[in-house]
Amino acid sequence: MRRSIIFGFQSPFIPACVSCFNNNNMSVPVQDSTPLLGVSQPISVAHPDAKDLALTEQLIETLKEFKSYEPKEETDKRLEVLRALNRLVKEWVKNVTAIKIPSGDGANAGGKLFTFGSYRLGVHSSGADIDTLAVVPRHIDRSDFFTSFKEMLNQDPNVTELHAVEEAFVPVMKLKYSGVELDILFARLALREVPDNQELSDDQLLRNLDPESIRSLNGCRVAEQLLKLVPRQKEFCTALRAIKVWAKNHGIYSNSMGFFGGISWAILIARACQLYPNASPSKLVHRMFFIFSTWTWPHPVLLKELNQDRNDIPTLCELIWDPRHKNTDRFHLMPIITPAFPEQNSTHNVTRSTHQIIKDEIWEALEICRDIHDGRAKWSALFEEVNFFSRYKHFIALIMAAPNEEEELSYGGFLESRIRLLVQSLERNPDIILAHNDPNKHKPSKNAKFDVSPENKRITVWFIGLEFAEHAKNLDLTNEIQRFKTNVELQASSVKGIGPTCQVEIDMFYVKRNNLIQVISAADLSRGRRWKKSSLIPPPKQNGNSSNRPTVARTASTSSVPTTPTSLVAPSTPLSAASTVVTNEPDSTTNSLTPVSRKRIIQEVTSTTTEVVYVSTDIPPEKKIRDDTLDEPIVEMIVEVTNEVVQQREVVQEITALQNGNDCLNSSSGLEASEQKMEVPQSV
């Protein structure tokens, strides 16, 4: 039975009555000092028993095996790096102050480096980066940060891989200092001085700040609030370590790619801590999966009541997540609200596909946790990495070729933040059930060949796995891919640090699973266990065609105001006539000044007779997931991309290995050995 969440304020320290026994075996109520936090009463205040403590010990040992805890030497090195950077920030502020205020009135301007994210919460793993924030007084501008401070870092011999992402939603400088990876944000306070004892918890500090500074300060303020809103910090941190390892190894840990980021997973664990305030870390992990496997999305996850009536700071109230007054907030699929003012949704990048993937992974994790609790599995079964390429049979590969390391870093971060937009475009195709983007980037195999300039030798590959609807026959991805490529190139030309003279090339092509061995290495293909669909995962909702309007859920938290569609109905547009496109277009021959349209036609045949099956122009039937274990119908996939290089594409035909009765597995890659013999389509 699902528990209703009451959106009312709960006093942080309400003593709960529990029963104990006196010498006469009489039940006597006593006061328990359990801190009760959150927007509702806890589900259970029971303390851990011997079995819970034993499972927690096993959990911690397993986390150490997965390198969730860093050695003391690495911890000491991080502290040295932070001290050195803090000195650099103070020195930089002093130098800029001497130029802008030559009278000497700003001699004590100060400046301070704050930490947030996993490092501030105490859950960082070995080799993880450190999120930092440089806070400066009012006479220091953001332009100074990306010019003079960047130049100071460039002159430091300990700094490597320095690049700035000035046009990001939250502008950041990325670097490695003595081998430790760091992200440095910038925030300017409306103060004359920033002393060493400066705190950021006061909401009044947000007055008269630019939006970028408010967003940058939000990371530190949220981390501080999180630690105050959990009953027991030690248990919270251990459970959060486990969730981070699980999410990363299952490929659902990336805010920019449409999944949950570190702060979102931290809020989910914090909510579990509020509902089970005395639970052990092993119980908290289990209960988090239980709570959010049955959570009625898009109901928001809140750690405290939203504070929307701030008359003292009325302008900042407009930044608060509020689906009652903001149309954009109504379409957030899995809202997880940050606890610091102004409260915002940390999961606005979630797409329809990533929404379903996250729910499926939580269901599978719940099943594994039940097996662990019953003694049928170990904690390593929960944290074991899952092979992304074993999930799907069809992929879109996105490649980026750069001439040097600097352009690779700057353009790569920009491109990675745009991949979710391609996923959203693919989701609108009525023939695609799921578009799953892999958060990990890959390096190509040594024998891989791509249609890029010879000077662009630094190549990075991303993959999107596709799951087709049962009725899919012809699949034309021309518009989606061409639109994405054009938009990325136009946006990149106006981004600082990239510009119109950038030599980076991007390209996309379709590839089957049996051809992946010629694109990336066998080590990448075989890494992790093969994915197996859980028996407990409920089937995805089928999108009917009875109505073109998405259904809208209403939540009690917003006074019955629509918050977001629970399911998006695929647009009822006919599939493009693929055969017409192929037969009417001339070959790819034109002059060097005109972009050339190039095509790839991929036909899957199930018999010796080549026959193309066409789809009628009627409204497509109800979506059903294709069963890839059965004989597939003939599928014709057309991918068209505009490029200035003239090259005619060949027709690639594949005969499934199952027809030949070859079921053996390749020991190096984990894929079928017969799949290794197929030709790989080159770049489009």
Residues annotated in the binding site for ATP, as ranges?
116-118, 129-131, 183, 244, 253
> Do 488 and 651 form a contact (C-beta atoms < 8 A)?
no
Binding-site members are 116-118, 129-131, 183, 244, 253
105 is catalytic: no
> Which amino acid appears at position 118 of this protein?
S
> Do 564 and 321 form a contact (C-beta atoms < 8 A)?
no
Q: How far apart are CA 594 and CA 410, in angstroms?
A: 29
129 is catalytic: yes
Instruction: List CB contacts of 502: < 8 A, sequence separation 6 or more.
Output: 407, 411, 492, 493
Binding-site members for Mg(2+) are 129, 131, 183
Q: How far apart are CA 22 and CA 677, in angstroms?
A: 76
Q: At what angle do helices 478-493 and 405-416 cross, to 10 degrees?
A: 120
- Active-site residue, selected from the candidate residues 90, 112, 150, 244: 244
**591 burial type by CB count under 10 A (0-12 exposed, 13-18 middle, 19+ buried):** exposed
List beta partners, residue 561: 555
Tally of CB atoms within 10 A around 316: 16
- Active-site residue, selected from the candidate residues 52, 68, 118, 276: 118
Element (H, E) at 29: strand 27-32
Could you give phi then psi for residue 400, rounded to 5 degrees? -130, 125
Report DSSP state, residue 126.
Answer: T
Q: How far apart are CA 92 and CA 257, in angstroms?
A: 34
> Do 31 and 17 form a contact (C-beta atoms < 8 A)?
yes
> Which amino acid appears at position 298 of this protein?
P
Q: How far apart are CA 558 and CA 324, in angstroms?
A: 6
> Which amino acid appears at position 25 of this protein?
N
For 643-662, b/e burial (b = at least 16 CB within 10 A) is beeeeebeebebebbeeeee
- Active-site residue, selected from the candidate residues 32, 129, 141, 371: 129
> Do 569 and 548 form a contact (C-beta atoms < 8 A)?
yes
- Active-site residue, selected from the candidate residues 52, 131, 476, 524: 131
Q: How far apart are CA 290 and CA 313, in angstroms?
A: 38
Q: How far apart are CA 490 and CA 103, in angstroms?
A: 46
List beta partners, residue 505: 401
587 is catalytic: no
- Active-site residue, selected from the candidate residues 213, 216, 248, 253: 253
For 550-572, b/e burial (b = at least 16 CB within 10 A) is eeeeebebbeeebbbbebbbbee
118 is catalytic: yes
541 is catalytic: no
Strands of 591-663, DSSP E: 596-604, 636-643, 652-654
253 is catalytic: yes
Residues annotated as catalytic (active site), given as ranges: 118, 129, 131, 183, 244, 253
